[in-house]
Structure 1
């Protein structure tokens, strides 16, 4: 046996010993249950109110989805010029309204003068909402008008911007003032934003995993050291794939479920995907088509 072979075997044995030791000593710490996430059925959240069925982020969309019996809404928020929290996805106002410019360049009152259904076209090519003058909503209005709904709040402004730097503290103050701690979830693709929000919330509000946390969890799951992973957030709201890596497997969903972290899948709008993910153990869905999704979930209830 050559020297290189001996060294390789020695290193291999050391690695196995380290793994065995960590397996025996390390115990993953499940997340403590959050009241906002206590559901006894598959959860359906209408994405921006159900953006394929009515103008996104408008009272019309939220009211229509609420009437269907959805569990809640998944919305994005941005800060306006006068530092109000607006329910809005895009950085620019022109994709869904008749205004031109960034959200941060307008006050809330100015944005409320806009026609939020100006560019909406339903799946049949209908533009009828253009004449109905639908309006945007502040997050405060949404929370007050739908007090029975669970609302996932996604912080869209980058932490490097002025608006993003203010958002975590302003959001916490609003949630606290309205007593909404047990019916909201706060998340962001920027893990830093969720961390900064939690400096104020102190784990009193459910939080969702950002991109870095999702990558960390998936890496742990696919390695031999999954037992060393302890989740930092309460919920994973994820796509079916992260690049080339599949997140929609029964194994990954179960890995997180054992840590008391439910998994909701984003932008799921097809029957086959919803049924397959229900069977794989998905706890919920964020959908653009709430009418369709509710029908499928009800058909598969108890199966």
Structure 2
């Protein structure tokens, strides 16, 4: 009897798999393109404002990148002690300012007292942006409203299981809503949970990227030959060119993403040869510390 039951289960499973594969010989129907991605590709995004050229995440950097002619900024956000959304990458302020301690242990006013140009060293070893007026901490609200025509790629850095991570979603949503910037932002994070939380809170028209887990799962299905079974809900994959020696920048993978209206974006690309190869392969977005190089290449 047990052998009979096992045989029935095996046959049923095989039938289900065969039926599913038969239905999915072609790619799933491509989803609509969100307004954020209606512009002409490729997009050149200044990573943290272009951190090789100016102190990262400061108005000095954003003003410079804007003047160069980038399509947008790739930024990171953190929540302050008084639940303000600021544009910073690290969990603490030590590396990028003359202060110390966790971002979340500071109020916005306390952060405004710090010098975020203090640690920046230029190619000659000098510190030209210490005490610079444009090197104060920047809030997301200030950035969005200072550059109303710029697209902004927002990476949520606070972990889901932290106090900051639990409250940053609502704060982020309110900033975007109050600035009416739903069409100008794409929400990304390494944490799939943070992206899911924002999707549950926000209007469906907002563009968003895939988290690290979602990217890994999707790429595994693509590599195994079962990519047609996977419908991708994310609007973009913001990924490195390789992960643990596995290339993620092949024409085949890029074109497979494009068939589902997923914009392939790559970070952090600072070599002109690598930029050229990615664009040749069909990359949609280049995130770079050297927006000066990338913009010149796009204009050629």
Same fold (TM over 0.5): yes
Distance 2:126 2:257 in 1: 42
Residue 217 of structure 1: aligned partner: 218
CA distances 1:74-118 after superposition (whole Å, capped 9, x unpaired): 000000011000000011101010011110011101101110100
> 1:138 maps to what in 2?
139
Structure 1 residue 168, shift from structure 2 partner? 1.1
TM-fit CA distance, 1:206? 0.4
CA contact (8 A) 1:29 1:231 kept: no
- Which residue in 1 is equivalent to 2:198? 197
Query: Match for residue 245 of structure 1?
Result: 246
Find the aligned partners of 2:131 and 2:154 in 1 and give their Cα distance: 29
Q: What is the CA–CA distance in structure 2 between the aligned matches of 1:230 and 1:221, rounded to whole Å?
A: 11
Cα deviation, 1:263-290, whole Å, max 9, x if unaligned, reads 0101000011000001000011000010
Rounded to whole Å, the distance in 1 between the matches of 2:245 and 2:20 is: 30
Q: Where do 1:80-119 residues align within 5 Å?
A: 80-119=80-119
- Residue aligning to 1:25: 23
3-state secondary structure, aligned to 1:127: coil
Q: Partner of 1:38 in structure 2?
A: 38
Following TM superposition, the consecutive aligned residue runs of length 4 or more in structure 1 with deviations greater than 3 angstroms are 17-21
**TM-superposition CA deviations, 1:11-41 (whole Å, max 9, x none):** 9xx96x7665333213524232100111213
SS of aligned partner of 2:129? helix
Point out where structure 2 has 5 or more consecutive residues left out of the alignment: 1-9
Instruction: Let me know the Cα RMSD of the aligned residues.
Output: 1.7
> What residue number does 2:171 align with?
170
Q: Using the alignment, how far apart are the partners of 2:18 and 2:39 within structure 1?
A: 37
Q: Contact (CA 8 Å) 1:76, 1:156: kept in 2 or not?
A: yes
Distance apart, 1:238 and its partner CA: 0.5
Residue ranges of structure 1 left out of the alignment (5+ in a row): 1-10
Match of 1:44, SS?
A: strand
2:65 is matched with which residue?
Answer: 65
TM-score, normalised with respect to structure 2? 0.92
- Distance in 1 separating the partners of 2:143 and 2:131: 23
Instruction: Tell me the equivalent position of 2:230.
Output: 229
1:128 aligns to what SS in structure 2? coil
Distance 1:244 1:237, change over 3 A: same
